Structure 1
Amino acid sequence: MKQILDAILAGETSAEAYADLEIPDHYRAVTVHKDETAMFDGLATRDKDPRLSLHVEDVALPELGPGEAYVAVMASAINYNTVWTSIFEPMSTFGFLERYGRTSPLAKKHDLPYHVVGSDLAGVVLATGPGVHTWQPGREVVAHCLSVELESYEGHNDTMLDPEQRIWGFETNFGGLAQIALVKSNQLMPKPAHLTWEEAASPGLVNSTAYRQLVSRNGAGMKQGDNVLIWGASGGLGGYATQFALNGGATPVCVVSSADKAEICRKMGAELIIDRKAEDFRFWKDEHTQDPQEWKRFGKRIRELTGGEDVDIVFEHPGRETFGASVFAARKGGTIVTCASTSGYMHEYDNRYLWMSLKRIVGSHFANYREAWEANRLVAQGRIHPTLSRAYAMEDVGQATYDVHQNLHQGKVGVLCLAPEEGLGVRDPEKRARHLEAINRFRGSSPRPSREFRTPKASRPGCLPCIGWNVRETGRTQSERTTEER
């Protein structure tokens, strides 16, 4: 790996020189193990600790197939699907790998007793399989996480509708939290030249998801003048949704859970902000009963901010905790567009507010290649900026994932893979200088945990970690955690 890293750090290495580099038959990666999927049985979700299930270990290099590429990963990032994988909720991802492995001889290699996780990367193409012509060794790239086969007609109008659509690094193996990743070549996009490796790695999944959900005709189709309610407006998804709303001539109504998070929204240019914690909005009386009076108080607060208008679009992703309020808050004929359910999948809402007011609920999941490319192009142009708040070493990926699980983070959390330090990979310093304040907007906003420990290392797939650490308590109850900020 040293020769590969030296070539990348040199910055002027030719494609021919990259093609001549020897690619090792093993590499370091972040994994979960199939024989540990029951390790958290009986625990509440909040008590399941990714630091115990994620391993940093050597794994075998998978075979390079047609239409595929090896990428040397300089940096990656944590998404909530890594949290789900690490705590084996709502199900073990090994079921995904088993089903994928049965689809073809090429896919069989994904069905292993370990799963290399991660759905973001920034790095350099090392080699490509037969049939790849655009992406040559040495190209600096980022990857979107859509994996499709496109052998069925259903996916050819919108690849997200392909029957074999999967999320790379979550429903497939060989993801981006590693020194080397295996991707389909049609996942690759140019790395924004003015960003560091860790900054460039952070937008991929959430930026593309927010773009489709809010801007694309496949989502809400936001237009100028729309009022957009954004849950977790300073978080991983919400930070991009807020930027898209501002760039697109809409007015974001930002929902956050602290004064610090409200200040980040203001730095992005948002003016209409609701601090849920400060204003004590509680949409549930108890675990089973929602409080419609709180919906009404929430709607009244929105109208106070907008000058009497309800919101045209609700950017939803918390799910169960907020969905009833979201359906209520949308204007007559408005849209609730949802891409996740981090607080619970079983949503409840009063359907009278939906059908009698002609509202619509739109489901949105990641993005097709065109949407991901357009979202990445906006980053490359300096119109949309990373929301990276902190980067961890790969050995500390368990702590990074734990922070996202416990909502101790802000924006996106990055992970250095091959990159020996932060700040590397900038190829356009002049453009960077013009946008430096916006690029660093989220920096330092995530509290540094008071006690950290490193992810267990394993010498081979299947060996068990020592779990005798003293796990730091968060000091926060489940009701106090702000799931919408994930």
Structure 2
Amino acid sequence: MRHILEAIHSLTSSGGSGKAVSADFAALSLPESYRAVTLQEEETDMFAGLDTRDKDPRKSLHIQDVPVPELGPGEALVAVMASSVNYNTVWSSIFEPLPTFHFLERYGRLSPLAERHDLPYHIIGSDLAGVVLRTGPGVNAWRPGDEVVAHCLSVELESSDGHNDTMLDPEQRIWGFETNFGGLAEIALVKSNQLMPKPDHLSWEEAAAPGLVNSTAYRQLVSRNGAGMKQGDNVLIWGASGGLGSYATQFVLAGGANPICVVSSPQKADICRAMGAEAIIDRNAEDYRFWKDEHHQDPKEWKRFGKRIRELTGGEDVDIVFEHPGRETFGASVYVTRKGGTIVTCASTSGYNHEYDNRYLWMSLKRIIGSHFANYREAWEANRLIAKGKIHPTLSRVYSLEETGQAAYDVHRNLHQGKVGVLALAPAEGLGVRDEEKRAQHVDAINRFRLSGRPTE
């Protein structure tokens, strides 16, 4: 991989006008194999009998040399400089709600080309920033040497269902979770329509961090396919300093709405204040317990929570709830939403079986909207806002590829803030910046989530 790194350095060392050009990259010989973070099909039962919390990604995630996959039409091979950890990394690593090899097997039945993905190992990861190495037949928009980030939407678009909203394609999948050859590796295989321009004022690891969560938050809040947020809306954001919530908070503030940020510690509350939020609820300090026991919720706690929200909003209920914890919070979310308001949900990190009192939904004309990642246009718009410096990465810590298990463990145990990054081919942090002037304008916001030292429980 050394000659690839040398070519990338030549491209970037003089602001993109170095000796390396597209033809040089196209002429580079590809290695026979590369290092990747993998799961092993033979280990899918390794956590049998353990509670979710006790399943340890450090035991299931491995570094493995894997062969470079065959490049097909409409695809690209990308040298991955950096990637990041998402909750789907955690779900993959603990084999919940089911092992991802079921996804790969099903995808492999689609076509001879898709059959490449059905392997006894799964290269995971749904974010990347890097440099295009090769493009397959039919790719016109991208060339070897282009600096890119990738969104994680993989679709076939052979059905009319997806042509108005690509997320509705029956063959919609999340790259690196429901497909193989993901971004937690030195090389990744993507469809060329996943590629977007790398923001030129960001380092590799900063550029890799927003992809999945930034696009998800954009669709969930801003898009007409989600909540359609407007100026003045009160928006309740669970986990407001986390990977998803930190982008939701920025979108709410940038859109002229009012975030009510729910966090779990004073440190996380401080991060939200630094972003510009004023209404903050520390759910641990105020000891909200929405469940009396495993089977019964406590409506009195919903009411106490709603009262606290009104204290922060001048007596108003929330117009929108940005939901992703799921089971633990969903009953409270439905209750505290104003009449005619919207609960928009994109995940269930605390459990998939949601329970709520339907009287508070139907009699108050509230809506529940399911939102999953983003379509092509939404992902592009979300990346455009990053490139313009309107929304900023929320990178808090960076790990090496060998430390991906620890990174996933920290996210699993909620020991992180914002996003955690992973260096792949990049030899150090801080590389890949092309526009220092733009960076200087936003450097404080870019570094806002940086932590000192390893998180501790």
TM-score over 0.5 for the alignment? yes
> Does 2:104 match 1:97?
yes
What corresponds to 2:443 in structure 1?
Answer: 436
Offset from partner CA, 1:187-212 (integer Å, 9 cap, x none): 00000000000000000000000000
SS of 2:83's equivalent in the other structure is strand
Offset from partner CA, 1:203-230 (integer Å, 9 cap, x none): 0000000000000000000000100000
TM-fit CA distance, 1:449: 4.4
What corresponds to 2:192 in structure 1?
Answer: 185
TM-fit CA distance, 1:57: 1.1
What corresponds to 1:294 in structure 2?
Answer: 301
What corresponds to 1:466 in structure 2?
Answer: none
SS of 2:196's equivalent in the other structure is strand
Q: Distance in 2 between matches of 1:145 and 1:54?
A: 20
Q: Structure 1 vs Structure 2: percent identity of aligned residues? A: 80
SS of 1:254's equivalent in the other structure is strand
What corresponds to 1:388 in structure 2?
Answer: 395
Q: Distance in 2 between matches of 1:46 and 1:278?
A: 22
- Comparing 400-409 and 162-171, the one that deviates more: 400-409
Q: TM-score, normalised by structure 2?
A: 0.98
Written as runs of structure 1 = structure 2, the 5 A alignment for 1:324-363 is: 324-363=331-370
User: How well do the aligned residues superpose, as a CA RMSD in angstroms?
Assistant: 0.7
> Does 2:44 match 1:55?
no
Q: Distance in 1 between matches of 2:199 and 2:427?
A: 20
Q: TM-score, normalised by structure 1?
A: 0.92
Runs of 4 or more off by more than 2 Å in structure 1? none
Written as runs of structure 1 = structure 2, the 5 A alignment for 1:113-262 is: 113-262=120-269
Q: Distance in 1 between matches of 2:6 and 2:376?
A: 31
> Does 2:45 match 1:38?
yes
What corresponds to 1:479 in structure 2?
Answer: none
One-letter code aligned to 1:120: D
Does the CA contact (< 8 Å) of 2:416 and 2:455 recur in 1? no
Q: Distance in 1 between matches of 2:7 and 2:239?
A: 40
Q: Distance in 2 between matches of 1:339 and 1:396?
A: 28
What corresponds to 2:417 in structure 1?
Answer: 410
What corresponds to 2:15 in structure 1?
Answer: none
Does the CA contact (< 8 Å) of 2:38 and 2:63 recur in 1? yes
**Contiguous gaps of at least 5 residues in structure 2:** 13-17
> Does 2:284 match 1:285?
no
SS of 1:434's equivalent in the other structure is helix
What corresponds to 2:280 in structure 1?
Answer: 273
Offset from partner CA, 1:154-212 (integer Å, 9 cap, x none): 00000000000000000000000000000000000000000000000000000000000
What corresponds to 2:2 in structure 1?
Answer: 2
What corresponds to 2:454 in structure 1?
Answer: 448
- Name which of 299, 304, 307 aligns with 2:311: 304
Q: Distance in 2 between matches of 1:314 and 1:407?
A: 21
One-letter code aligned to 1:197: W
Offset from partner CA, 1:239-268 (integer Å, 9 cap, x none): 000000000000000000111000000000
Q: Distance in 2 between matches of 1:45 and 1:344?
A: 10
Q: Distance in 1 between matches of 2:432 and 2:167?
A: 31
Q: Distance in 2 between matches of 1:309 and 1:98?
A: 49
TM-fit CA distance, 1:107: 0.2
Q: Distance in 2 between matches of 1:5 and 1:28?
A: 14
SS of 2:237's equivalent in the other structure is strand
Q: Distance in 2 between matches of 1:370 and 1:449?
A: 36
